[in-house]
């Protein structure tokens, strides 16, 4: 009798002892157990294994009940044989029960943090989930993390890893990244697993966890390259450049070093024309066309600086040519029907999202000004909104419209979590920080309602800014009032918006009959 037959003998006995099942179900299970044994023997399997399980589930009828019964058999055999097999989604067929708080507390009394490689993974996962629950997470959020940890645990067991090992966890992260990059994993699943892994590592290192956002890893260069970059940044500071501009130069400088595969300062002497061509190809790939007109001059200046300072043997800056293209302006605007359809839909979404959308629709506010709106910028007594615009740092006063004020009030009274942040619109989950952008909210609603803006493909809040200008121009509102409503201080900013006034533009057209005729003779 081989190993498979021995295991199946135990399975038959367990099925017969199932007191909580009716006789019909026991007989049906017995038949499927016999089918499994026959299938394994006929296909040359001497012992239970993952391939046998997978092949058996796919064999036979595709009916729901038949597949369910085959899965029941596979799960029982896996439990008896301790094969730690996985289902089609990557979870263990027989997932373990998490340890209780008392068990976890007693276990970790014998450990100090950071943990060594003797700590059991299941105890660590159980302890991490208790830390997450203590942060007052919603039941839904806790459930998502629990599912992510069970998947991570399944992956670890399938790779024969039973105790804590940060290198193995990083291998899981790479595997997760690969599945996401190849389209095998949805973005939200990838993100929750990545965050769950970061929390697990933090608990293993510190013994506790408090909610915070895990920022993407920064570009790290060798010390000698950092000194070169810092010297360049110092020379820029002497030119009285704005902080945002200096930060952009710093970012581009570091990206260039990565693109050129420069590890140390001596590598700069080995740069060739082919390397610069490859640099340009990568820049074009990573940045949009509109961004290139800003990025290319920076690259050119940095290359000239490196040559002048003797870090490069050739002046490669001449190879960098600023791209020339005709900038077209074709703003995305909503039709009146789509705008009415969107406004009617707002009653079906959360109070927070209602308020955000109404601020964009009614005032044409920029995304940054909506996200950074603070309590002290709303004057409830005078019915005014008084903001300092993020982009221009210019003060702007707007009337607080009834529907906007009601939406904000409903959000504050019924939905907004209690916290000390001065910002009105915050995340729905911890950490309670102000939202960074309303683009995703806006684009989701556009897709839900099948709304396609006229004249373009825009899906962000700026669509409402253009749409508002178009409505005001059609109503004959004077340009200066529109300029003041938008909060513009530079008249060059207005010309793009005023190009929406098709009637006025039409009156400026030249008579084609005069083309080619000398008018001064």
Whether 497 is catalytic: yes
CA gap 435, 351 in Å, rounded: 15
**Domain spans of the chain, in order of start:** 3-81, 101-206, 223-309, 336-503
Buried b (16+ CB within 10 A) or exposed e, 486-495: bbbeeeeebe
What pLDDT is attached to residue 497? 60
Low-confidence ranges of the chain (pLDDT < 70): 213-221, 237-244, 290, 322-330, 456, 489-521
CA gap 2, 178 in Å, rounded: 39
DSSP 115: P
What pLDDT is attached to residue 500? 60
What pLDDT is attached to residue 521? 40
- Please, what CATH class does the domain formed by 336-503 belong to? mainly alpha
**Which of 70, 352, 459, 462 is flagged as catalytic?**
462
Whether 159 is catalytic: no
- Laid out side by side, the sheet with 378-379 consists of 378-379, 384-388, 395-399
Give 335's contacts (C-beta < 8 A, 6+ positions apart).
454
What pLDDT is attached to residue 349? 93
Give 300's contacts (C-beta < 8 A, 6+ positions apart).
317, 320, 322
**Which of 29, 362, 459, 465 is flagged as catalytic?**
465
What pLDDT is attached to residue 324? 56
What pLDDT is attached to residue 328? 54
**Closest among 192, 194, 142 to 172, alpha carbons compared:** 194
For CA atoms 56, 57, 58, 61, give the dihedral sign.
positive
pTM of the model: 0.56
> Treating both helix axes as pointing N-terminal to C-terminal, what angle do 336-345 and 351-363 enclose, rounded to 10 degrees?
160
CA gap 495, 482 in Å, rounded: 12
**Which of 391, 436, 448, 491 is flagged as catalytic?**
391
**Which of 366, 416, 430, 470 is flagged as catalytic?**
366
> Treating both helix axes as pointing N-terminal to C-terminal, what angle do 139-158 and 187-206 enclose, rounded to 10 degrees?
80
**Which of 300, 439, 488, 498 is flagged as catalytic?**
488
User: Tokens at residue 41, please?
Assistant: 């023997």
User: Tokens at residue 378, please?
Assistant: 């709303």
What pLDDT is attached to residue 517? 45
Buried b (16+ CB within 10 A) or exposed e, 375-388: eebbeeeeeebebe
What pLDDT is attached to residue 510? 47
Whether 462 is catalytic: yes
Distances in Å between the alpha carbon of 72 and those of 30, 36, 57, 108? 11, 11, 10, 36
Judging by DSSP bridges, how do beta strands 384-388 and 378-379 pair with one another? antiparallel
Measured between alpha carbons, how far apart are the two ends of the chain, in Å? 114
What pLDDT is attached to residue 489? 67
Whether 195 is catalytic: no
What pLDDT is attached to residue 265? 87
CA gap 396, 393 in Å, rounded: 9
């Amino acid at each position: 009798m081989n190993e498979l037959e021995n295991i199946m003998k135990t399975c038959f006995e367990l099925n017969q002892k199932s007191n909580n099942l009716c006789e019909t179900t026991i007989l049906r299970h017995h038949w499927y157990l016999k089918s499994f044994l026959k299938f394994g023997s006929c296909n040359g399997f001497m012992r239970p294994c993952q391939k046998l399980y997978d092949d058996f589930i796919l064999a036979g009828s595709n009916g729901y009940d038949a597949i369910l019964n085959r899965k029941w058999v596979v799960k029982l055999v896996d439990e008896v044989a301790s094969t730690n097999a996985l289902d089609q989604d990557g979870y263990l067929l027989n997932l373990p029960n998490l340890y209780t708080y008392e068990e976890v507390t007693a276990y970790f009394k014998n450990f100090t943090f950071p943990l060594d490689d003797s700590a059991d993974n299941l105890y660590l996962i159980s302890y991490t989930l208790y830390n997450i629950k203590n942060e007052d997470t919603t039941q839904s959020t806790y459930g998502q993390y629990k599912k992510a940890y069970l998947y991570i645990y399944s992956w670890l067991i399938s790779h024969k890893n039973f105790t804590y090992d940060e290198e193995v966890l990083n291998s899981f992260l790479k595997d997760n990244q690969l599945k996401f990059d190849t389209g095998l994993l949805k973005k939200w699943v990838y993100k929750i697993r990545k965050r769950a892994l970061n929390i697990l590592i933090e608990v293993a290192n510190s013994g506790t966890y408090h909610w915070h956002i895990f920022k993407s890893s920064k570009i790290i260069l060798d010390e000698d390259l950092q000194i070169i970059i810092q010297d360049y940044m110092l020379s820029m500071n002497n030119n009285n450049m704005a902080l945002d501009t200096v930060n952009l130069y710093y970012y581009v400088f570091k990206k260039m070093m990565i693109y050129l595969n420069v590890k140390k300062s001596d590598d700069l002497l080995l740069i060739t024309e082919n390397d610069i061509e490859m640099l340009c190809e990568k820049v074009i790939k990573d940045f949009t066309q509109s961004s290139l007109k800003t990025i290319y001059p920076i690259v050119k200046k940095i290359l000239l600086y490196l040559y002048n300072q003797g870090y490069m043997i050739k002046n490669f800056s001449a190879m960098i040519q600023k791209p020339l293209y005709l900038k077209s302006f074709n703003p995305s605007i909503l039709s009146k029907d789509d705008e009415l359809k969107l406004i009617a839909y707002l009653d079906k979404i959360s109070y927070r999202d209602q308020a955000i959308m109404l601020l964009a629709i009614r005032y044409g506010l920029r995304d940054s000004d909506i996200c950074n709106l603070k309590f002290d910028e709303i004057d409830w007594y005078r019915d005014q909104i008084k903001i300092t615009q993020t982009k221009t740092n210019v003060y702007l006063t707007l009337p607080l419209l009834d529907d906007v004020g009601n939406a904000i009030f409903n959000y504050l009274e019924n939905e907004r979590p209690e916290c000390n942040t001065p910002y009105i619109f915050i995340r729905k989950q911890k950490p309670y920080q102000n939202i960074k952008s309303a683009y995703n909210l806006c684009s989701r609603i556009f897709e839900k309602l099948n709304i396609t803006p006229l004249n373009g493909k825009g899906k962000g809040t700026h669509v409402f800014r253009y749409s508002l200008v178009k409505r005001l121009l059609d109503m004959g509102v004077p340009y200066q009032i529109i300029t003041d409503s938008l909060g513009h201080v530079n008249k060059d900013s207005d010309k793009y918006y005023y190009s929406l006034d098709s009637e006025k533009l039409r009156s400026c057209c030249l008579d084609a009959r005069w083309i080619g005729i000398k008018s001064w003779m």
